[in-house]
Amino acid sequence: MQIITDRRALHRIPELGWELPETMAYLKNALSGLNCTVFEPVAGALCAWFDFGRDSAIAFRADADALPITERTGAEYASTHPGKMHACGHDGHLAIALEVARRLSEKKALPHNVLLIFQPGEETPGGAKRICDTGIFEKYNVKAVFGLHLWPGLEAGRMFTRENELMSHASEVTVDIYGKSSHLARAECGIDALAAGVELYRQVRATEGTLPKEIYRLLNFGQLHSGTARNAVSEHTHMEGSLRAFQDEVFDGLKARLYEIAADVEAKFGCTVTIHMSEGYPAVMNPPELCRKLAAYMDFGWLEEPTMTSEDFSWYQRFAPGVFFFLGLGDVPALHTDNFHFDETILLKGADFFEKLAENYQ
């Protein structure tokens, strides 16, 4: 089965970030000979344009980069690149897109043209924005964009989505607190960066808990390192965490509150607090009207809750209405783990879904 052949070939050659020369070479070769125009919107990315003579187009996106993980699946088609692995299923996404390309190549007519986007840099640094900034959606008059992600824990072989919130705007938060060291026997001579860190953490958790449950959000820390000796006041605390939300006002409000807490801690302890936050990706928000439109002729399940993970597909949604889907894998290892694997025949369900969408979307 060609879709499985593609997936396994791509699984063997995982590459990171924006530099995916082997992956892109494989995709170019697979697309050669099909009834489409293949081009690079920017160096390192690839598109396939299927022109059916229509005034407008829809787009499908497949991400292509892997993760810096050493594979331990024991599969005969395991990674041949040490320390790199397709542990997030992007090889499956690419295989689905190639299968869709082959099917589109055989069609004589569709209600619209189709643009397939093979995107590097989803995990980092964010390839979607760079592609969008080229003006490709305007040039090809893209009226809607769609994407999917393989998803453990959902019914195997079925697509799922939800209206509005699906995947969060996520920002990495790094806090450094600088105090003054002294012997614990003379603690009054120091400025306790550990106590300041504990207070900052306490206030942050209290703040996050004041918001209503129906507002999906997260502001928390997973790491706190402080001090150098058991009998010395800590002069430095380092904290790492994450801020995640969906609505800009919620995200911005929590961010502003974090800086207010930092100022309060500085005043209370006489320390210095610095905060660094990554830009992150916008939230994936599915337009309700588009979801309902698709539901009239597409079979997919509805998710009750969003996930607090993030995805740069959200950038495409800022240039055209778009819906992102999860393709269920059943009970398999989690994404981003060194033993992630799944039933590859499920990939056909993704190709079938996108083919039907391409045939019916008006």
Query: Where along the chain do its domains lie?
Result: 2-167+283-360, 169-277
The per-residue pLDDT for 70 is: 98
Q: Which residues of the chain have pLDDT under 50?
A: none
User: Distance (Å, rounded) from C-alpha 40 to C-alpha 34?
Assistant: 16
The per-residue pLDDT for 210 is: 86
User: Distance (Å, rounded) from C-alpha 59 to C-alpha 116?
Assistant: 6
Segment (H or E) for 60: strand 57-63
Provide the pairing of β-strand 142-151 with 322-328: parallel
How does the average pLDDT of the chain come out, rounded?
97
- Residue in this structure with the two tokens 């207010």, named with its chain if needed: 260
DSSP calls for 41-55: SSTT-EEEEE--S-S
Q: Give backbone dihedrals phi and psi of 143, rounded to 5 degrees, phi first.
A: -100, -15
Find out whether 197 and 177 touch, Cβ atoms under 8 Å: yes
Find out whether 306 and 250 touch, Cβ atoms under 8 Å: no
CATH class for domain 169-277?
Answer: alpha beta
The per-residue pLDDT for 208 is: 82
User: Distance (Å, rounded) from C-alpha 148 to C-alpha 96?
Assistant: 10
The per-residue pLDDT for 209 is: 80
How many Cα neighbours within 13 Å face the side chain of 174?
4
Q: Respond yes or no on whether the N-terminal peptide bond of residue 68 is cis (omega within 30° of 0).
A: no
What are the DSSP E strand ranges found in 78-181? 113-119, 142-151, 159-161, 164-167, 169-178
pTM of this prediction?
0.94
User: Distance (Å, rounded) from C-alpha 293 to C-alpha 295?
Assistant: 5
The per-residue pLDDT for 302 is: 98
- Residue in this structure with the two tokens 């900034």, named with its chain if needed: 133
Domain spanning 2-167+283-360: CATH 3.40.630.10 = yes
Find out whether 302 and 159 touch, Cβ atoms under 8 Å: no
